[in-house]
Amino acid sequence: MQYNSVLENLKIYEAGKPIELVVREYGVDENSIIKLASNENPRGCSPMVQKEVCSDISKMNLYPDDSMYELKEGLAKRFSVDSQNIIIGAGSDQVISFGVHAKANKNNKVLMAKTTFAMYEIYARQTGTTILKTPSHQHNLQEFLEIYQNNKDISIIFLCLPNNPLGECLSRDEVYNFLDKINKETLVIIDGAYQEYAKYKDKKTQIEPNDLIKRYPNALYLGTFSKAYGLGGMRCGYGIADVNIIKALLKLRAPFNITTLSLKAAIVALRDEKFVENCIKENFEQMKIYEKFAKDLGFEFIESYTNFITLEFKNSKNSTEISEKLLKKGIIVRNLGAYGMNAIRVTIGTPEQNSRFMREFKEIYIDDMEG
């Protein structure tokens, strides 16, 4: 059977290996596995969320309130925007796909950093659009601007703030200066999946959606419950933008695009900010230990504004080998070899998980040096 020609160029996203797969393929005992590969909150989610989701367990047969009234009201209050400025997605991922399908096509182009969230490219390819990337792995706005000025047909620019999978973050002022130079016909998607972490570490990186969308009617801010709120498995994110953008994206949203329990979880999660604060505080305390660990062992890391850290190796080390050896010990991390980097991305876990990672990693690393 023949398919639409865009399918020929599609790549399938390679997810972090799940625990179940490591048990099956490597025969490692399930209880000894630690997964530091997908930037899941190691503290889970708020106990209040767990309790309220369980108390709604008899409603799994019922479709969610498709207007998502209560969740939108909660987000509108949190961000001082109107609920008409909000769209809910099955993860902020899905809002990316709406943005892409609304603007990108085979006659235009989208622009992103060389190493950034893989789904931007995957969704973009579904439209047959041309993908442009900056020469630098990390976000470099000068490079973005040069490419933008040399290509008049760019429909979307992606800025991942802070950037996954590398961890760096631009400041708000840099971003605003950049946005001032962008035509209002170009959709600029500001992916704030890790913004809760960035703003804790450095206020200067904080992008406030209400301020952003007032200044820039072409900006689409993305947020998620998957990271700081600890609900990665529930697939719930959101987009915040000028009402005209939201109206266009809503046309691409299928009804009931999140589950009844996800909707409940997200609504309740917004009520327990203390949980989120505590998680983020611990995250950056643990991050310091990783930074010291890297310095002590003598390898590079990228200063991170997120809940993960990217460790970069010299040529004598190989990130693929290191990842594989860790896997055999039941530790799952993300190898960034596929991005053309000799690096691994490690999610900041609980203190116990981090200690175990460092112990096992050190053994591999020193073995490797002797080998």
Site for its own copies in 245-264 (CB under 8 A): 245, 248, 250-262
Q: Assess 151 for contact with its own copies (CB under 8 A).
A: no
Q: What is the layout of strands, in order, in the sheet containing 154-160?
A: 86-89, 237-241, 219-224, 187-191, 154-160, 109-112, 130-133
Q: How far is the CB of 195 from its own copies (least distance, A)?
A: 18
Q: Assess 1 for contact with its own copies (CB under 8 A).
A: yes
* Residues of this chain, 5-24, that bind its own copies according to CB under 8 A: 7, 10, 12-13, 15-16, 18-21, 24
* Residues of this chain, 320-359, that bind its own copies according to CB under 8 A: none
Q: How far is the CB of 11 from its own copies (least distance, A)?
A: 8
Q: Assess 169 for contact with its own copies (CB under 8 A).
A: no
CA 78 – CA 72 distance, rounded (Å) = 10
Q: How far is the CB of 146 from its own copies (least distance, A)?
A: 24
* Residues of this chain, 208-227, that bind its own copies according to CB under 8 A: 217-218
User: What's the farthest any 2 CA atoms get from each other in the chain?
Assistant: 61
Joined together, the tokens standing for residue 70 give 């209560």
Q: How far is the CB of 8 from its own copies (least distance, A)?
A: 9
Comparing CB distances to its own copies, the nearer of 125 and 137 is 125
* Residues of this chain, 86-145, that bind its own copies according to CB under 8 A: 90-91, 93-94, 97, 101-105, 119, 122-123, 126
CA 51 – CA 171 distance, rounded (Å) = 38
3-state SS string for 30-53: HHHCEECCCCCCCCCCCHHHHHHH
Contact at 8 Å (CB) between 111 and 272? no
Burial (Cβ within 10 Å: 0-12, 13-18, ≥19) of residue 46: buried
Comparing CB distances to its own copies, the nearer of 53 and 346 is 53
